[in-house]
Amino acid sequence: MSMQSVASPAITLTPPKRNSLTHIPGDEGWPIIGKTLDVLADPKGQVERMSAKYGLVYRSHIFGETSLVLLGPEANELVLFDQAKLFSSTHGWGQVLGLLFPRGLMLLDFEEHRLHRRALSVAFKSGPMKSYLAALDTGIAAQVKKWKAQPGPMLFYPAMKQLTLDLAATSFLGAEIGPEVDEITRAFVDMVAASISVIRKPLPGTKMARGVRGRERIVAYFSEQIPIRRNKGGGEDLFSQLCHATHENGALLSTQDI
């Protein structure tokens, strides 16, 4: 049974009208793009400049949407604990990440988020985590040995980036992924790059278009691999753990959930 059938009731929260937020101090920047370029160029600096000018609660405009920024421990507690269920992650993140990570854990609300998180927790228990760590240690040691054997200087950042991607692929998909590893890794990279791209529509030639294609490739690969991993059993990588994870009623996660 899919989590969609045990989800909490449909969210009735609606975003406020833009003109109802004008009493909050801030600067929405240029038409259409707002402050998006400033945030992408210097996220921390932009927050510091805006908060110094407008205070700990201010209004801005990024990724085509009017946004409110709340800073400080009390504000973080109000939004992140959200005991009164006032803030929707689905509506908030959906505009930004919906094309790339539809119904991702971060995009789910309230009880549905809790049920998904509990089902996924099996992949992050002590046993699997020790297995991931062992794979990381082995992979790092092997690559450092190769670096030492190479003559002459090397470019550190590209080497570290490639190592990180290789380790992530091994930890998530397992050491037996095969020749598809480069293609799958590229698809992941394209999705992440698209998540912070300025253009939010998958127009030809844009990062968002590459990200959407990357997601399609990954969905196709996972859909093909899920029954294989379930029949095979015994995998210690994160993906294999998720293939065998169950809901509270004992049902396996659906292909869409994974």
Confidence of residue 15 (pLDDT cuts 50, 70, 90): low
Higher model confidence: residue 123 or residue 145? 145
pLDDT of residue 12: 60
Region 33-56: what's the mean pLDDT?
92
Model confidence pLDDT, tens digit, residues 213-227: 999 998 998 888 888
Region 18-26: what's the mean pLDDT?
84
Model confidence at 175: pLDDT above 70 = no
Higher model confidence: residue 94 or residue 15? 94
In angstroms, the Cα distances linking 187 to 72, 103, 169, 171, 204 are: 36, 19, 11, 16, 16
What is the number of other CB atoms lying within 10 angstroms of the CB of residue 16?
Answer: 9
Model confidence at 8: pLDDT above 50 = no
Region 248-253: what's the mean pLDDT?
80
Of 253, 254, 28, nearest to 118 (Cα)?
253
Model confidence pLDDT, tens digit, residues 78-103: 988 888 888 888 888 887 888 888 88
Mean pLDDT of the chain: 83
Of 175, 188, 246, nearest to 221 (Cα)?
188
pLDDT of residue 58: 94
CB 100 within 8 A of CB 216: no
Region 186-194: what's the mean pLDDT?
89
Confidence of residue 10 (pLDDT cuts 50, 70, 90): very low
How far apart, in whole angstroms, are the C-alpha atoms of residue 103 and residue 70? 25
In angstroms, the Cα distances linking 221 to 42, 114, 148, 199, 224 are: 35, 27, 35, 27, 5
- For 191, residues 6+ apart whose C-beta sits below 8 A from its C-beta are 100, 101, 211, 214, 215, 218
Window from 6-20, 45-59, 139-153, 243-257 with minimum mean pLDDT: 6-20
Region 57-75: what's the mean pLDDT?
90
How far apart, in whole angstroms, are the C-alpha atoms of residue 244 and residue 257? 12
What is the number of other CB atoms lying within 10 angstroms of the CB of residue 208?
Answer: 22
Model confidence at 113: pLDDT above 90 = no
Higher model confidence: residue 119 or residue 46? 46
pLDDT of residue 50: 95
Region 36-57: what's the mean pLDDT?
93
